[in-house]
Amino acid sequence: MAFELETASHPETLKRVAIEPVSRVEGHGKVTLLLDDDNKVHQVRLHIVEFRGFERFIQGRPYWEVPVMVQRLCGICPVSHHLAASKAMDMILGAKLTPTAEKLRRLMHYGQILQSHALHFFHLSSPDLLFGFGSDMATRNIVGVAAAVPEVAKKGVLLRKYGQEIIRLTAGKRVHGTGAVPGGVNKSLSVEERDLLLKDIYQMVAWSREAVGIIKGLFEKNLAEYNAFGRFDAHSMGLVRADGAMDLYHGGLRARDKSGEIIFDHFDYGHYWEKISEDVKPWSYMKFPFMKHLGPDEGWYRVGPLTRVANCDFIPTPLADHERKEFLAYDAGRPAGATLGYHWARMIEMLHAAESIKDLLHDEDILGTDLMAKGERQERGVGVIEAPRGTLIHHYRVNEDDLVIRANLIVSTTHNNQAMNESIRQVARQYFDGREVTEGLLNHIEVAIRCFDPCLSCATHALGQMPLEVTLEDAAGNTIDSLYKDAHGVSRGK
């Protein structure tokens, strides 16, 4: 079944507008809209146009190589792939991590959450939020933010830098390190390294609180618009700790329906396929996951910061938990169901990451030397982690010669595939019908996509300078109008 606005009944009679590539996201995607002569929207699709094939070329490689190889999926969230694959390989080894190894991996992961969330909020999304979705595109970028509110931009850059320093000290490099290995980690922190991180952590916690304040203030200022923008109801899924707390590194799967009722709880992710399956559509390389018992039409769901903050029973760090309660109670909970609420929830998670880092830096275990564990060898390993963008599933089978024979990866953005499509269809309904297509209007579509912080699978960074060409064609394929933007500005032509 096609969803509403997914497939027009007579596309050959409609005008096509394409946003290609979508900018200020990671990876390559495009959006197509089909409009009739009155500019009424009949079809909206987010297409993921790149094909990577990691699941195939991992096959035949030794299992210990996988955590390092698969992180090359991305330059923004490599730590997430590195850790999810390492967790899967822990299972292959039957290893239960030592306290030092687990805490160092958690430290690496929270560093990743901190730097990724800071990058997304300050560098990629704050230009839309601070200047307006349809504002002048010449300044709607991080350079514009730095010029208008230099203190905000500076804190964003330094928050990200701090997260990357944690990754460097735990993984060996800021990007694409090797810290986690099957069964443990290959290094602990020295006292000097720990003290270096301790020096700035309180500042990071304070700045993360300020960041929550920024997005909260923006909601207060634009409440009706923010609550309604690209809004849709959806099921949700994510990991929670055994006691119901937010846990971004490990836990059981919890899913809620649209009304917030639990569908399943504390489900062992080692058997995720009993709950989740994937659908395919001919117009996108990205699959469409769904909950099996509900089927592809009713079973799609969303993941990521918004669902994690609402899905858990509490956040186990005090400042973030306080902000969570305020977020869920604000305006009778409406922001917690809004697409733009992702930004608010994301900043609450950044605060939680900063607090968790602070706690770990005060834990002597991270200076330990007991780094590796072994166990009884298994054939199958599943590693699940809550990556910055949502639930990340790595699943491998390894043969007796130690080579991977099967791999299945369901990355965060894939879970959100249908949700992103729903969101941009909603925006198209809200803003496009009957109006002339402009660059500012088209940016509304991108604003909705950016809420999910999609990683369209690699490390492309646009910073508002990625070329964007929009063409308006008539039913015969003739170009009626076109807009082109690049680092030098916007030009219009026919």
Partner 1 sequence: MSENTFLLDGEAIPFVPGQTVMQAAKAAGKYIPHLCWHPEFKPHGSCKLCTVKANGRFVSSCTMEAAAGVTIENRTPELDDKRRTLLQLLFVEGNHFCPSCEKSGNCLLQATAYDLGMMSPHFDHFFPDRPVDASHPDILLDFNRCILCSLCVQASEQADKKNVFVMGGRGMRGRRIIINSESGKLGDTDFAASDRAASICPVGVILKKRVGFAVPIGERKYDQAPASVVEVTK
Residues forming contacts to partner 1 in the complex (CB under 8 A) are 60-62, 64-65, 67-69, 72, 171-173, 176-179, 181-182, 186-187, 401-403
Q: How far is the CB of 60 from partner 1 (least distance, A)?
A: 6
H helix or E strand, kind and range, residue 387? strand 380-387
Q: How far is the CB of 466 from partner 1 (least distance, A)?
A: 24
Nearer to partner 1, 69 or 367 (CB): 69
Rounded CA gap, 362 and 274, in Å?
40
Strand partners, 48: 29
> Are the CB atoms for 327 and 352 separated by under 8 Å?
no
- Report the alpha-carbon angle 40-46-49, nearest 5: 135
Nearer to partner 1, 87 or 235 (CB): 87
H helix or E strand, kind and range, residue 297? helix 295-298
Tokens coding 312: 């858990």
Rounded CA gap, 224 and 335, in Å?
10
Q: How far is the CB of 24 from partner 1 (least distance, A)?
A: 26
Nearer to partner 1, 174 or 485 (CB): 174
> Are the CB atoms for 390 and 454 separated by under 8 Å?
no
Tokens coding 91: 């299972």
Nearer to partner 1, 181 or 419 (CB): 181
Helices 191-221 and 99-118, packing angle to 10 deg: 40
| Burial of 210 per CB tally in 10 Å (0-12, 13-18, 19+) | middle
C-beta neighbour count of 369 within 10 angstroms: 8
Residue with token string 């780094």: 371
Q: How far is the CB of 184 from partner 1 (least distance, A)?
A: 10
Nearer to partner 1, 139 or 178 (CB): 178
Helices 99-118 and 341-361, packing angle to 10 deg: 140
Q: How far is the CB of 381 from partner 1 (least distance, A)?
A: 14
Q: How far is the CB of 52 from partner 1 (least distance, A)?
A: 14
Q: How far is the CB of 273 from partner 1 (least distance, A)?
A: 27
CA 40 to chain centre: 31
Q: How far is the CB of 181 from partner 1 (least distance, A)?
A: 5
Nearer to partner 1, 34 or 411 (CB): 411
C-beta neighbour count of 477 within 10 angstroms: 9
